[in-house]
Amino acid sequence: MNKLKIALENNQITLGTWMQIPHPAVIEIIAYNCNNKLDWICIDMEHGSLGIESMTNLIRTIEKYDITPIVRIPKNDYIWIHRVLDAGAKGLIIPMIKDETEARGAISEAFYPPLGRRGFGYSRANLYGANFDNYVKIANEDISIIFQIEHIDAVNNLDSILAVRGFDGTFIGPYDLSGSLGEPGNFKNKKYQNILSQYNEISKSYSIPTGIHIVRPTKTKINEAIKNKYKMIAVGTDAVLLEDKCKEIYS
């Protein structure tokens, strides 16, 4: 049962975090000390120094804490979509979706026929064949697909992207989106704020859950994201949480 998918379908707020360090101990420390408040953890295959094997071990660790394992794949590519789902990910964050064609392509590769083109095979997701029939039966309804909106082209094409069926929500990539406006990391820039408002208004008109990554988290920023009705809120990264604690102690 994909708890993230159920929560988004019911318009509930979910909290998660971003993993880039390829070691299960980091997840154990974060999951245990977040007092059962994490709904999902995203393993970052786009910018993290992870391979397929270390990603799979991180998924195993996340599952032990009854947290939904999500993976941001490196690119919208059928090989990555198939391999990550076969490893047991319960959801995918697809980076740099810019138009309807890219959105439809990602969904098609994530779904088994007749809804899509995902290939069949024994894998960890179906217990190496022992649970093959049951997994294939439920997978299309149990996988979360999240489109990352992180370029001005995506916001300009947002109506057509959100009209596509089969995905569960979208997720703002703040640094890339601001970078596409020529203001990387300048989140107070008026143009960026206007584009963000446009994203939220269009998403609201389609009743599509939205998400945002608070890279440098504070309780104030988290509460602001909740107030702005984001439903997937990523709180920091493993490296940032470690960095901030070190600075707090040794500054």
Half-sphere exposure of 96 (CA within 13 A, CB side): 10
Query: Please, what's the b/e burial string for 61-87 (b: 16 or more CB within 10 A of its CB; e: otherwise)?
Result: bbeebebbbbbbbeebebebbbbbbbb
Q: pLDDT of the chain along its 251 residues, tens only? A: 899 999 999 999 999 999 999 999 999 999 999 878 899 999 999 998 899 999 999 999 999 999 999 999 999 999 999 999 999 999 999 999 999 999 999 999 999 999 999 999 999 999 999 999 999 999 999 999 999 999 999 999 999 999 999 999 999 988 999 999 999 989 899 999 999 999 999 999 999 999 999 999 999 999 999 999 999 999 999 999 999 999 999 98
pTM recorded for the entire structure: 0.94
> What's the rounded Cα separation, in Å, for the pair 46 and 3?
24
Query: Please, what's the b/e burial string for 177-212 (b: 16 or more CB within 10 A of its CB; e: otherwise)?
Result: bbbbbeeeeeeeeeebeebbeebbebbeeeebbbbb
Question: What value does the CA radius of gyration of the chain take, rounded to a whole number of Å?
Answer: 18
Q: Which of 165, 164, 113, 168 is nearest to 139 (CA)?
A: 113
Domains of the chain listed by start with CATH number: 3-250 (3.20.20.60)
For residues 64 and 38, the answer to whether their CB atoms sit within 8 Å is: no
Q: Please state the length of the chain.
A: 251
Could you list the active site residues?
47
